[in-house]
Amino acid sequence: MAGMVQEEPGFAEGFRVRPPGTEGAMHRFSSVAALVLSAVLLAAAAGCGGPMAETAGVTPPPAFQQAEAAYQRGDLASAREGFRTFAHRQPKHAFAPWAYYWQGKIDLKQERYAEALYAFKRALDMRPEPLIRGPLLMALGDAEYNRREYRKALGYYRQVDSGGFAGTVRQDELYFKTALALQRTGDRTQADRYFDRVELFPGSPYIEEARRRSGRDSPVAPTLHYLGLGTFTRWDGAERVRKEASAAGFQANIERVTSAAGVLYEVRVPVVGGREEISAVENALRGKGFRPVASFE
């Protein structure tokens, strides 16, 4: 998924919350940035505000690649300076927001939370395209959580979910972190519901920690469905419907899917539960003029 940038699950909350096997994990990310840049360039050429398609072959500039190489070999000081310098010298470059993003991720890893917040906010200010915004909002939540600003962290996590960006990040990670923030703000009931949602993702590295924190030793088996509100070939078409659903009071996300026809954007309203819960949300949507189609995920 373009836009889904994952370095390692977990983040500090006084101590490091790291699922087994994630210590030192570093995944390549320049290809993600390249795909997003392709989409942005195509969208700009078409005169629309969001990605329409993706084209391989966009190469990050040499300075960005050098910072990336330093990151991959574990030289975080050089990587941070490389990303910082690139973004400072080329603030209008399409890769500048990604440079600030990775500068912030390094600051977050090294527990410089104020600096991380600055870098993430600069990236959002520079180019708030939907595929970039989700990872940035998640990272802002992580930084605030580590500063013990739990309500601010919760606000950022909820923006990822309610803003239609959940398809651009790991949803099990989003649910887990939302649950942690809810727990810290004293809303244990809602926290347990989000911990339960982690079970929707078999093999998630967050499952065991979610069970421990919710006080459950055995798996809970919630079921995730979604109600589709339409599939579009253009992001802006899907975004229009998502905003209409949001204005009507529904949480809607845009999911990027690949089909034989190419890249499509599907507007979904997630529903956790059984037939009764699905029918209730479906009837509510129809009452607002939408024509939902139920699917199982």
Tokens 């802006």: give the residue: 236
Q: What are 222's two structure tokens? A: 């919630």
Q: How far apart are CA 279 and CA 191, in angstroms?
A: 25
User: Which stretch of 9-18, 164-173, 218-227, 244-253 has the lowest confidence by average pLDDT?
Assistant: 9-18
221: Cβ contacts below 8 Å, ≥ 6 apart? 199
- Nearest to residue 137, comparing CAs of 3, 249, 32, 46? 3
Cα 43 from chain centroid (whole Å): 21
The more confidently predicted of residues 276 and 116 is: 116
On whether residue 104 sits in a domain, the answer given is: yes
Tell whether 205 is covered by a domain: no
Q: What is the tens place of the pLDDT at every residue in 195-235?
A: 988 888 878 899 889 988 888 765 555 566 778 888 888 88
Residues 230 and 165 in one domain: no
Among candidate residues 169, 188, 215, the one where a domain is terminated: 169
The yes-or-no verdict on residue 30 having pLDDT over 80 is no
133: pLDDT strictly greater than 80? yes
Residues ≥6 apart with Cβ < 8 Å to 112: none
Continuous H helices in 73-186: 76-89, 96-109, 113-126, 130-146, 150-162, 171-184
CB within 8 A of 243, min separation 6: which ones?
Answer: none
pLDDT digits (tens, 9 = 90+) for 114-126: 999 999 999 999 8
Task: Specify the CATH number for the domain of residue 292.
Answer: 3.30.70.1070
Tell whether 156 and 233 lie within a shared domain: no
pLDDT score for 230: 87
Over 60: is that where the pLDDT of 297 sits? no
Residue 150 vs residue 223, higher pLDDT: 150
Residue 9 confidence (pLDDT) above 60: no
- Structural domain for 230, as ranges: 224-296
In a domain, 219, yes or no: no
Please check whether residue 16 lies inside any domain of the structure. no
Lowest model confidence (mean pLDDT) among 179-183, 206-210, 237-241, 244-248: 244-248
Question: Please, what is the end-to-end C-alpha distance for the chain in angstroms?
Answer: 17
Q: The whole model's pTM is what? A: 0.64
Q: What CATH number did the domain enclosing 111 receive? A: 1.25.40.10
pLDDT of residue 22: 32
Q: Are residues 40 and 132 in the same domain?
A: yes
How confident is the model at residue 274, as a pLDDT? 65
Same domain for 35 and 162, yes or no, is: yes
Q: Are residues 235 and 118 in the same domain?
A: no
Q: Is residue 178 part of a domain?
A: no
Q: How many residues does the chain have?
A: 297
255 beta partners: 266
pLDDT averaged over every residue in the chain: 76
**56 inside domain:** yes
- pLDDT tens, residue by residue, 93-103: 888 988 999 99
Tell whether 165 and 42 lie within a shared domain: yes
Burial class (CB in 10 A: 0-12, 13-18, 19+), 269: buried
Q: Domain tally for the chain?
A: 2
Output the six-digit token pair for 242.
Answer: 């998502």
Q: Is residue 21 part of a domain?
A: no
DSSP secondary structure of 171-184: HHHHHHHHHHHHHH
Contact 117, 108 (CB under 8 A): no
Is residue 4 assigned to a domain? Answer: no
For 35-64, the pLDDT digits (tens) are 444 443 333 333 333 322 232 346 789 999
Which tens digits make up the pLDDT trace of 280-295?
Answer: 788 888 888 888 887 6
Using the 3D structure, point to which of 126, 150, 169 is the last residue of a domain: 169
